[in-house]
Chain A
């Protein structure tokens, strides 16, 4: 196993174990997501067609803001006891630290999103719990978490800290959101694949681009 893969695995498993013990991230993210979906379900009184067009926006707005909560907490945990220094002192690539943290954040966010699908299917009477939507969820949360992990590492070094992450993340995540919302709406409204397949291609392209850029810049971001 390469140094990179071993370090990524160690950091990912460490985050899983720590979260299993504390349930700090998942708990907060899940509670927020449930409340958000409930508020939207009461606030939006829509007919069936309008619901099918609007529900993807509700899903993605909820996922993005839940991920912001989780990302802030995940990176803050590394800073609390100076653990980020311990990671940076280890003889491992900076990109491995980033990718290990990102993978854990992605899994937490994707799990929250996946739990929302059946819940929203019931609340909005629109079939969200399907494999194509789950696939979009994985691709969309990948991009959000890859940029969010980098930005949280930057913003938590500032005085305003956690408040800055959504302000920094939302403009960068906008192209991702556009792609995911359009593609999700296309699936939910039974539109032909030609109408929304391009958005999936754009989404995957953005995911790849953001992953490469964020891995390259993480070392610069965390060094003083």
Chain B
């Protein structure tokens, strides 16, 4: 018997007022899979991630994460989730170390381990030497790395990444991709939205494409970003730069 999917949605719909954003989305994501979620602006990608993370309530349908129903049992899931957004989710007036120590307190990490774990997380994203600099002095790429360190600090099983490459230059993207590959190799389940197709074949095992709130494509990614862009254009009716 196959293992139960770590993320599962059934008939998932969401409307903001009279505007439908998601319409009957069914997705199964097994443990350890790296899934790229593509779609035009307004197709419902971020909304889907917010529903899975328990930040937004669905209008209809069911979501389970790790076997727990969202949003009713979201409190059981929060410890298993790490979220990286295109927003940094860090406090600019605090240092990198203070940001992570604050996150450690929220996740009730043992006080005796906090110092070591914070430093280890900073080292993993290459920010250990900047540990005591204010986050507001960081570049966009460094803030994003700090955001990843914060998301990994409590050792979650599942990572939800909402356009993590936004605003990063090529070297920063390469660093981020190396980190994401490392997390995948460590056995994390990753669900990532992106508009930058060139990263998808390098990272993901599976591509989902949302078009007007409907799951319109579910397959392994083409190895060539140009071919992926053609598939994207065919499915969504919109062109995208590969």
Residues of chain A at the chain B interface (Cβ within 8 Å)? 3, 6-7, 9-10, 14, 17-19, 21-22, 81-83, 85-92, 223-224
Contacts and interface: CB of A to CB of B under 8 A. Distances in A.
A21 B87 contact: no
Nearest to A24: B93
A85 B93 contact: no
B88 A17 contact: no
B88 A14 contact: no
A18 B135 CA distance: 11
Contact of A18 (B55, B79, B91): B91
Contacts of A88: 54-55
A86 B100 CA distance: 12
Count class of interface residues, chain B: 20 to 34
Contact of B55 (A6, A10, A14, A89): A89
Given A17-B98, A89-B81, A91-B79, A3 B87 contact: no
Query: What is the interface of chain A mostly: helix, strand, loop, or mixed?
Result: helix
A4 B168 CA distance: 37
B57 A17 contact: no
Interface of B: 50, 53-57, 71, 75, 78-79, 81, 83, 85, 87-94, 98, 102-103, 105-108, 134, 150
A21 B134 contact: yes
Contact of B94 (A3, A18, A90, A223): A18
A92 to B, nearest CB: 6
A30 to B, nearest CB: 18
A10 to B, nearest CB: 4
B108 A85 contact: no
A84 to B, nearest CB: 9
A150 to B, nearest CB: 19
17 contacts: A14-B91, A14-B98, A17-B93, A18-B91, A21-B94, A22-B93, A81-B89, A85-B83, A86-B89, A86-B103, A88-B55, A90-B106, A90-B107, A91-B106, A91-B107, A223-B55, A223-B57
